[in-house]
């Protein structure tokens, strides 16, 4: 009996060693507070990007729902600049869990993108979320430093997760990730050209409602307001006539005339604060009510068109619970501020937003890397009106021919949006009924679009049923 017991223990040790091989066990997330049981692995922790200055980025990694060893790796970056990919992408949009209305537990996201891919979320740059630096000047950041740190992050993350280094890698994100992702992709391509021994297997780039070029993306907002009846003809015409968006800049007063700025101010006042600019058809959540309900252990949930519009308050409450931070191996330096969705300590360059991303996308496409730009059509912040034009201009600059004519794409026998493709490499797709944060409001259509992207498939152009009897 004693011998059998000893051999069993030895056998168990061998099995455990095999199971954990290739994983940083110190970063494994065993169980998040209030989390439903799942069969896939989760990891969270820090990757040092500059040991001398004490700069470190926080990540959350979730393996694919099934067959993780066969599926690609997808990095998701949020925008801002200075907002959290973990708070946004991971726990509000495309990750496996969402916060419950009580702010103390989680529910499953049955349409998580980890159904199709392994997912990696990073709070970048330092100063965002739980990412930090021991050198205060590091909180003065910009596009170039962010891209450099993210490349270093990836190279060091692969040292922790060596089995993923040779996987197909997809770079994705939304909003100001229209800057982050093209710049990171070019940094990866430059790294691959320099270092054959540690090449990254970049296979595609996809960005939702991306800021690509101010001179098109900013006027598109006011065109959107006008076309949706949110401002008057008079204000719309004044903005079109008095604003020269060709030289528009991020910082106020935007290098615009007083007449232009006055018209823009009037437009914003007419739209008002009771509209969610990121999704103009959703009702708003009242922060004072949501925060009071969370404190009183009531449900803060406010549903609008099937979407919990108070999720951001539930998420913030959850992430600031000490037991949650402990389970995530987060906040190891006891930061002197709460976790928040967008950074209050980061001083991000207010001129980098002026940069034109089309030349970088052109370089990526010339490397035969597919690029997908997708747009939720209820977004007035970076509307499809600008993105569609910029994608067409990019295609023309490359002499790409139309390979998929502009037309509806289908999901579950309904129109998922509209799509066109150029040169078998560059895709523009709208997602019908989706917000600036596409997976947040149209999770099923978003997962279908993402799955098509990583599998190199065009979106389906027909329904299986005729509309007429």
Catalytic residue numbers, as ranges:
175, 379, 436
Parallel/antiparallel/unpaired status of strands 118-123 and 73-77? parallel
> In 184-323, at which residue ranges do the beta strands (DSSP E only) sit?
202-208, 303-304, 307-308
- CA-to-CA distance for 72 and 63, rounded, in angstroms? 10
Tokens 């959290």 correspond to what residue?
A: 84
Two structure tokens written together for 111: 């349409």
- CA-to-CA distance for 449 and 377, rounded, in angstroms? 14
| Most distant CA pair in the chain, distance | 91
Q: Say whether 59 sits in a helix, a strand or coil.
A: strand
The answer for residues whose C-beta is within 8 angstroms of residue 327's C-beta and 6 or more apart is 29, 30, 31, 32, 33
HEC assignment per residue over 327-365: HCCCCCCCCCCCCCCECCCCEECCCHHHCCCHHHHHHHH
- CA-to-CA distance for 242 and 239, rounded, in angstroms? 5
The answer for residues whose C-beta is within 8 angstroms of residue 229's C-beta and 6 or more apart is none
Q: What is the CA radius of gyration of the chain?
A: 23
Q: Is the dihedral of CA 443, 445, 448, 454 positive or negative?
A: negative
- CA-to-CA distance for 427 and 420, rounded, in angstroms? 6
Q: Say whether 429 sits in a helix, a strand or coil.
A: strand
Burial class (CB in 10 A: 0-12, 13-18, 19+), 299: middle
- Give the Cβ contact number of residue 338 at 10 Å: 10
Q: Where are the alpha helices (DSSP H) in 243-383?
A: 258-271, 287-295, 311-319, 322-327, 358-366
| Residue 453 C-alpha from the chain's centroid | 15
Q: Within 13 A of 405's CA, how many CA atoms are on the CB side?
A: 0
């Amino acid at each position: 009996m004693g011998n059998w017991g000893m051999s069993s223990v030895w056998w168990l040790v061998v099995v455990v060693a095999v199971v954990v091989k290739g994983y940083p066990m110190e970063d494994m997330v065993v169980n998040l507070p209030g989390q439903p049981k799942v069969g896939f692995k989760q990891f969270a922790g820090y990757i040092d990007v500059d040991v001398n200055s004490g700069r470190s980025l926080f990540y959350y990694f979730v393996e694919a729902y099934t067959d993780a060893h066969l599926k690609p790796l997808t990095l998701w970056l949020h925008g801002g600049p200075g907002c959290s990919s973990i708070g946004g992408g991971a726990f509000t949009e495309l990750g496996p869990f969402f916060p419950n209305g009580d702010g103390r537990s989680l529910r499953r996201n049955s349409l998580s993108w980890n159904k199709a891919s392994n997912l990696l979320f990073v709070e970048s740059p330092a100063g965002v979320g739980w990412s930090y630096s021991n050198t205060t000047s590091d909180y003065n950041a910009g596009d170039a430093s962010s891209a450099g740190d993210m490349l270093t992050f990836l190279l060091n993350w692969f040292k922790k997760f060596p089995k993923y280094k040779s996987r197909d890698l997809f770079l994705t994100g939304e909003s100001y990730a229209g800057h982050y992702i093209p710049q990171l992709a070019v940094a990866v391509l430059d790294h691959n050209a320099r270092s054959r021994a540690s090449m990254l297997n970049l296979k595609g780039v996809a960005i939702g409602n991306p800021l690509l070029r101010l001179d098109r993306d900013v006027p598109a907002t006011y065109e959107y307001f006008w076309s949706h009846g949110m401002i008057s003809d008079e204000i719309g015409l004044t903005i079109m006539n008095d604003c020269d968006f060709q030289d528009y800049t991020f910082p106020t007063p935007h290098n615009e005339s007083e007449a232009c700025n006055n018209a823009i101010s009037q437009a914003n006042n007419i739209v008002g604060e009771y509209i969610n600019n990121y999704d103009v058809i959703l009702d708003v959540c009242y922060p004072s009510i949501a925060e009071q309900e969370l404190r009183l252990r009531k449900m803060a949930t406010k549903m609008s068109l099937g979407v919990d519009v108070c999720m951001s308050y539930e998420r913030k409450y959850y992430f600031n619970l000490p037991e949650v931070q402990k389970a995530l191996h987060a906040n190891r330096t006891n930061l002197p501020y709460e976790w928040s969705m967008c950074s209050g300590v980061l001083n991000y360059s207010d001129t980098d937003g002026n940069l034109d991303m089309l030349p970088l996308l052109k370089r990526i496409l010339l490397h035969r890397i597919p690029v997908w730009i997708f747009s939720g059509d209820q977004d007035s912040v970076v509307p499809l009106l600008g993105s569609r034009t910029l994608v067409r201009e990019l295609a023309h600059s490359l002499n790409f021919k139309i390979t998929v004519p502009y037309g509806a794409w289908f999901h579950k026998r309904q129109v998922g949006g509209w799509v066109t493709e150029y040169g078998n490499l560059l895709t523009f797709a709208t997602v019908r009924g989706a917000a600036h944060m596409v997976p947040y409001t149209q999770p099923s259509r978003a997962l279908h679009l993402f799955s098509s992207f990583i599998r190199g498939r065009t979106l389906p152009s027909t329904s299986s049923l005729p509309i007429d009897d």
